[in-house]
Amino acid sequence: MRRFSAAVLLAAIFSLSLLLFITGCSGGGKVQTPVASSILLSPSSLSLNEGQVLTVTPTALNSSGQVVAVDFTFSSSNPALASISSAGAVCGGQFDANSIVCSPNGDGQATITVTSGSASATATVYVHKQVDRVVMNSFSDCGSMGTLLTPSAVAYNTSAPGCSPSAPCDITSTVGPFSFGTGNLNVVASAAGINPAFNATTNSPTYSGGGTIMGSKGQTCNLSDFSVGGGTGINSTFNPSKNSPTFVSGGAISGAAGQTCNLANFNGVTGATALVTLTDTNTIATGTHLTITSPGAGGGSTAPTTATLSNGTATCSGTVTVITELVEIAGVNPVVGATATVTLTDTNTIASGTQLTITNQGFGAVQPPTTATLSNGTATCSGTASVITALNTATGLEAQSPGSTALFASVAGVNSVGTPFTVCPVQSILVHDANSSNTNFTLQGGQTQNLVADVLDSKGLSIKPMLSWGNTQSGATTIGTQNSAATIVGAGPGTSIVTATCVTPNCNVDLPPEYSQNVVTATIVGQSPDHVYAASTQSLTMVPIDVVTGTVGTAITLPNLPNSILASPLGSKVFLGAASGGVMIYDTSTSTVTPLGFNGKVLAVASDGSLLLVSDSVANTTYLYDVADSILLVSAPGTAVAGAITPDSQWSLSPIGQGLLRMGDSVPNITTKLNYTPAGIDLLSQGSLMFITSAGAVDTRSTCNQSDVQSLTATNPTFVRAIPNGTGAVAIDVPNLDVITTAQPTPGCPTTASSTLTAYGLGAGSFTPRELLVSFDSSHAWVITDQTFVALFNLTNNTPTTISLAGGAVGLSGGLTLDSSQLYVGATDGNVHRIAVSSLSDEQQIAPGLKDSNSNTVAPDLVAVLPK
């Protein structure tokens, strides 16, 4: 027997009929009493343990679909089994005369009816023995993206006579429908989508406003990305790499150690709240972790940096500085695959209330979407539109994106333990022209090319997941992406390689990544307007050189002596390593140099410029730095001798000692043991295969899990570089160049690919290699040696050439222009030498004028070419 709180009696909403009399010669008027045309009842069914009490909530709508206040009458088809109070409280049994005490009276079903005038609504009530345990049934196979799942569960009682934890009683048939949930809405979500049929009562689906429209009456605009605003909140899980969420400083505090302060008003995130603990009297130490009590309900586009302190158990006030990161909030992600059209009602006008034509209902909705993205139809449309939608009647769960998650079942307030489930992972990706099988394009600046990716899952079904697209040189092409399609735009002269990857957190979630089996090559015609940056390990200046004019620009002052140099493919930053004082970033847009909080040599930069890999031999530590967010993502013990970053800019791979270190933001550090000491590393352009050099061999390994694929016999290969067109790699193996030819990788993880190695003599005798470069158009490999020449190998006809440096200078460091026409080499004579591919000669010697602390001219032993 249970008592029902009298406070619930106050929950009923009554409408008061008011008759207004007006005295005057004009007579009188009367305000009409609201009338319900329909009633919505929530929930639509109840599962009650015997003696349990829950409340149903009715909402009345008038003929226009507006909520109105009316009187409700409640009734039950079986009051002895399930009675209901005048306030909507439902008893799993029979209420006493005051609707307070609920007495159980057996198991069964009853129908609750709520009425107002001629309008009514019903809900089914399932009364049963107490649910003590819920077990969700496991799945025998993965489900392909977009398929409807049929989850099932069993409810048990362990407390009734004859039932026990060791011999539970199955009461599934009496409890009614289960509710099913998911641990990751990006993998599995509600099957509900947008209701395509217009409903005059709810005025759905219609256009409300927003967006930019250019067109004529009768033309149409497309709509997609239907969503429920917001979408982000504060990540409540502490991330040691980002030190988030933590308290930094600020505010007034009065209290003792162990007391707490409340935090709210996190800038940009609606409804986010947290607690922070005092570490001493009147003190919150910098770095104290926040306890997130509510991650918020959307609105965040950048991670909040401030919050407001208020009382907790201590006295707290003021604004504080915090470190946080954002996370997607469950339930507000877009409805997957939902699309619609809307018709222009006049020139450049869509009238509010114009009905949408739903062309695809989509799935994954848990709330009716309120916004959508406008794009071209027969009119020119863009921007975000406000919409009114209702959900369809689909129930259950639907596979949303390839990946792994846990599914849950619940009934009568009891949740099951999570059951693992996999949406069939992506098994293969092939990228090509949207209208043909072509994968090589020559474009003018500003010209576009549409691409698609043919994606198959592990069942061989064609799907369109959200892929991560990448291009190696943003100076040559920019790329716009949408799921399994992309558009490349010619930016500036040069060659860029485009790839697609299925990688967590958007695809193959918590599963190994899948890389495209091929690449697309885009060549933009013209001369690259790049800049060469020349520096020296003995000078505190760096000098830019204009490639087009050959002129030397204004010297840039560096705070520390550099020990290495890399240029960002984005064309905006130059990265310089340093043994002390911090690694440096020169930003060309602001002409500023920023030192970082760690030292080392720069080894690799991501193709999108977002990640920087650094190795510090003094601290014996390898670092992965997030350039975009200006934070140190992760570090690991050990000194890396080389490094590479996957084309999706997710992972870095570094040989350390006799191990291979994998680091990334969304994955833990993993070291794979090697049975040799590596010398160099690079990735096949697709990203799926890695090449590691060591004494006597070039080892090929599958990137997704670092497993061994093939060992290619060699002599003593050192530097290794992938050929951009995805056909293999080259390695320096003095006096030879090893050309590795790799077949198209197989789909799945681990990737396998058959490779062959052929050694070609460079005709240069014995030398010590200083740098290996491969032209962006995949035509040549360049070797900077410790001799008075540069070795060149033509990859189209497998022939070597040596090019002498003017004045008998010895090369030290170099960089290639994006159009692959020029090699710039810093040399011992203090000059930067420009070598032209067209003439195979040293055509120009440029003096950067680098000086040491004693004003002596020093050699430019650090050279990089930055795309413009």
Confidence of residue 570 (pLDDT cuts 50, 70, 90): confident
pLDDT at 7 over 50: no
- pLDDT at position 328 is 55
Confidence of residue 366 (pLDDT cuts 50, 70, 90): low
- pLDDT at position 722 is 97
Q: Residue 246, SS3?
A: strand
Task: Return the CATH fold of 2-128.
Answer: Immunoglobulin-like (2.60.40)
What number does CATH give the domain 435-524? 2.60.40.3440
User: 87-114, pLDDT tens digit by residue?
Assistant: 899 999 999 999 999 999 999 999 999 9
Confidence of residue 775 (pLDDT cuts 50, 70, 90): very high
Mean pLDDT of the 503-509 span: 90
Give domain limits for the chain.
2-128, 133-190+398-422, 206-228+332-392, 232-328, 435-524, 762-868
Q: Quick one: which of 485, 220, 466, 487 has its CA closest to 355? A: 220
Mean pLDDT of the 841-864 span: 96
Handedness of CA 213, 217, 221, 226 (dihedral sign): positive
For residues 316 and 526, which has the higher predicted lDDT (pLDDT)?
A: 316
CA distance linking residue 659 with residue 656, whole number of Å: 5
435-524 and 762-868 share one CATH topology?
no
- pLDDT at position 27 is 43
With vertex at residue 833, the alpha carbon angle to CA 828 and CA 839, rounded to the nearest 5 degrees, is 140
For residues 587 and 294, which has the higher predicted lDDT (pLDDT)?
A: 587
What percent of the chain lies above the pLDDT cut of 90?
66
pLDDT at 12 over 60: no
For residues 584 and 59, which has the higher predicted lDDT (pLDDT)?
A: 584
- pLDDT at position 480 is 80
Mean pLDDT of the 706-733 span: 97
Confidence of residue 202 (pLDDT cuts 50, 70, 90): confident
User: 670-686, pLDDT tens digit by residue?
Assistant: 999 999 999 999 999 99
> Which residues have CB under 8 Å from 486's CB, separation 6+?
450, 451, 452, 453, 469, 479, 480, 498, 500
- pLDDT at position 526 is 85
218 contacts 262 by C-beta, under 8 angstroms = no
- pLDDT at position 48 is 95
Rounded to the nearest 10°, the torsion over CA 486, 492, 493, 497 is -30
- pLDDT at position 396 is 78
Choose which CATH entry (2.130.10.10, 3.40.47.10, 2.60.40.10, 3.90.110.10) describes domain 762-868: 2.130.10.10
- pLDDT at position 682 is 97
Mean pLDDT is lowest, of 21-25, 65-69, 224-228, 652-656, for 21-25
Q: DSSP letters along 101-169, please? A: EEE----EEEEEEEEETTEEEEEEEEEESPP-EEEEPPPSS-B-TTPEE---EEEEE-SSTT--SSS-E
Q: Quick one: which of 741, 746, 718, 716 has its CA closest to 729? A: 741
529 contacts 867 by C-beta, under 8 angstroms = no
Q: Residue 84, SS3?
A: strand
Q: Kind of pairing, strands 273-277 and 514-515?
A: unpaired
Q: Which residue type is seen at 758?
A: T
Q: How far is CA 860 from CA 191, 431, 770, 864, in A?
A: 62, 41, 14, 10
Mean pLDDT is lowest, of 133-137, 253-257, 389-393, for 389-393
| Partner residues linked to 575 by β-bridges | 566, 585
Mean pLDDT of the 727-742 span: 97
Confidence of residue 241 (pLDDT cuts 50, 70, 90): low
User: 576-626, pLDDT tens digit by residue?
Assistant: 999 999 999 999 999 999 999 999 999 999 998 999 999 999 999 999 999
Q: Residue 173, SS3?
A: helix
Q: Residue 7, SS3?
A: helix
Q: Residue 806, SS3?
A: helix
- pLDDT at position 6 is 31
CA distance linking residue 841 with residue 145, whole number of Å: 56
For residues 184 and 254, which has the higher predicted lDDT (pLDDT)?
A: 254
CA distance linking residue 106 with residue 47, whole number of Å: 14
pLDDT at 236 over 80: no
Structure tokens at 142: 């993965």
